[in-house]
Amino acid sequence: MDLRDVQRELPKYEYDINQVGIRNAKLPVNVLTKDGKKIPSVATFNLYVSLDKDQRGTHMSRFLQMIQNSIDVTVINHEFIKSLLMEVTERIGGNSFAKIDFPYFIEKTTPVTGLRNIIPTDVTFKGSLINGEFTFAFKVKHTVMSLCPCSKEISRYNAHNQRAIVTVSITPKDPYKIIWFEDIINIIESCSSGPVFSILKRTDEKFVTEFSYDNPMFCEDIVRCIAHEIDQKYKGQYKKVTIESEHLESIHPHNAYARLKLVGE
């Protein structure tokens, strides 16, 4: 059967398109942890190419085919993204762009009883291959506890505290040098009023309650502390870092929010 390929024709209006492709494709994956384990997850893929002004359409079915082939043989990491982008650019042409979101899980032990905890976090990997040059970035969105320094200071007792969602996005200078998001999560937790736990026995809950009161943090404090720690640990290794902290204020129906950007020299 000879089916006409309208995608290959000239478009009516000749504009370059920055990105065209597929969005919100879900697939089961395994993700590699820092200590070499594979953990199950479900990834949501966006995959695009650039399209020149002289071609009407891209070939959408190939995107899913390439993603699907890849996930059978490997785990999701920056090498996976690079080889996916190289295949996209080779088979479809143009620059290529990938964004992959997935829930991830870290382990920790409770502060007093030492019970094992499995804590969810959200990770995003972003990659691009532009004129043959590969860039890679990742984002960690992690939940911590925040306790308000102002509320503590002005009140005779207690202080309002709440969940804070901290997001750190890093574009490393060298896309091939791994920055583990486990390490970024450690920094986030150390710059908060305390980590959250899934299991806390009563002696742990006492510890966590008092610990948070001893470590009050504004959203401003959290983003500055993370900026400082990242500067200490990764100086010279990043192109760009964006740090956000959004607090689900227990005393308000709206959120408090801060954002701080670091630019590498």
Q: Which residue has the tokens 């143009």?
A: 94
Q: How far is the CB of 142 from a copy of itself (least distance, A)?
A: 9
Measured from the CB atom, the residue of 78 and 142 that comes closer to a copy of itself is 142
Regarding 17 and contact with a copy of itself (CB under 8 A), the answer is yes
x-or-dash string of contact with a copy of itself, 179-198, rule CB under 8 A = ---------------x-xxx
Partners of 161 in beta bridges: 147
Q: Is 28 exposed, middle or buried (0-12, 13-18, 19+ CB in 10 A)?
A: exposed
54-83 positions binding a copy of itself, by CB under 8 A: 56-58, 60-61, 64-65, 68
- The 8-class DSSP code of residue 7 comes to G
Residue pair 57/6 in contact (Cβ under 8 Å)? The answer is yes
Regarding 206 and contact with a copy of itself (CB under 8 A), the answer is yes
Regarding 5 and contact with a copy of itself (CB under 8 A), the answer is yes
Regarding 235 and contact with a copy of itself (CB under 8 A), the answer is no
Measured from the CB atom, the residue of 82 and 152 that comes closer to a copy of itself is 152
Show the tokens assigned to 241: 């870092």
Stretch that binds a copy of itself, among 80-88, 127-135, 139-147, 173-181 (CB under 8 A): 139-147
Regarding 213 and contact with a copy of itself (CB under 8 A), the answer is yes
81-120 positions binding a copy of itself, by CB under 8 A: 103, 105, 115-120
> In terms of Cα–Cα distance, which of 75, 43, 45, 76 is closest to 63?
45
x-or-dash string of contact with a copy of itself, 22-61, rule CB under 8 A = xxxxxxxxx--------xxxx---x-x--x----xxx-xx
Counting every residue written for the chain, the total comes to 265
Stretch that binds a copy of itself, among 82-90, 128-136, 180-188, 205-213 (CB under 8 A): 205-213
| Longest distance between any two alpha carbons in the chain, whole Å | 82
Question: According to CB under 8 A, which one of 109, 180, 203, 235 is a site residue for a copy of itself?
Answer: 203
Question: According to CB under 8 A, which one of 70, 95, 143, 167 is a site residue for a copy of itself?
Answer: 143
Q: How far is the CB of 110 from a copy of itself (least distance, A)?
A: 9
Residue pair 20/93 in contact (Cβ under 8 Å)? The answer is no
Is the Cα dihedral 183, 188, 194, 200 positive or negative? negative
Q: How far is the CB of 233 from a copy of itself (least distance, A)?
A: 14
Q: Is 84 exposed, middle or buried (0-12, 13-18, 19+ CB in 10 A)?
A: buried
Give the whole-angstrom CA distance, residue 58 versus residue 16.
12
